[in-house]
């Protein structure tokens, strides 16, 4: 896989611009790109998505192969590196930011990207001044991991959602 999807890319797509009933082609495209080894996500993201009771939760359950395991030794070790680096920054952040970050899918997504050479796809934006929470682009920058948003991914992979003539 070359790109790893953050939960927010799927949630935003469902809630806003690529609603599942409005643009089913987007969701089919994701699965085709997964089969072509262009994109995936991780089981921690699937776990976040399936807590809901909506179409996206069902889609995530029905397409479990999109979500890769994180129990391999390399990802576990990378997570440890990320946790240690974040802990060093914790004094600059609001109380609870470390626990919140480490308790979610984000550090695992970054760890998987670190071990596979994938680009993280997220709607979070780099903000070096943020103090309320750890955000994916800031952590990616710490480790030299590339990241982009959904629209950059769509352009890079030349996605086309065309209606039949």
Convert 3-31 to b/e letters by CB count within 10 Å (16 or more is b). Answer: bbbbbbbbbebbeeebeeeeeeebbebbe
pLDDT for 89 equals 85
- Position 149 scores a pLDDT of 97
What is the pTM (predicted TM-score) of this model?
0.94
Residue 143 pLDDT class (50, 70, 90 cuts): very high
Burial 86-102 (b: 16+ CB within 10 A, else e): beeeeeebeeebbeebb
- If you average pLDDT over residues 129-155, what whole number do you get? 95
Identify the CATH homologous superfamily for domain 3-156. 5'-nuclease (3.40.50.1010)
Full DSSP string of 2-28: -EEE-HHHHHHHHHTTT-TTT-HHHHH
Q: What is the model's pLDDT at position 165? A: 78
pLDDT at 120 over 90: yes
pLDDT of residue 164: 80
Report, as an integer, the average pLDDT of 59-63.
98
């Amino acid at each position: 896989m070359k790109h790893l999807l953050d939960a927010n890319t799927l949630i935003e797509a469902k809630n806003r611009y690529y609603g599942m009933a409005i643009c089913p082609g987007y969701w089919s495209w994701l699965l085709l790109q997964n089969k072509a080894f262009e994109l995936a996500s991780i089981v921690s993201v699937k776990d976040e998505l399936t807590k809901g009771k909506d179409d996206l939760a069902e889609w995530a359950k029905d397409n479990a192969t999109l979500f890769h395991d994180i129990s391999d030794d390399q990802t576990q070790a990378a997570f440890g590196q990320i946790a240690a680096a974040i802990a060093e920054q914790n004094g600059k952040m609001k109380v609870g930011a470390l626990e919140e970050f480490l308790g979610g899918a984000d550090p695992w997504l970054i760890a998987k990207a670190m071990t596979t050479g994938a680009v993280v796809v997220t709607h979070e934006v780099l903000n070096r001044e943020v103090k309320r929470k750890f955000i994916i682009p800031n952590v990616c920058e710490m480790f030299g991991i590339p990241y982009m948003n959904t629209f950059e991914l769509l352009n890079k992979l030349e996605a086309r959602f065309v209606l039949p003539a």
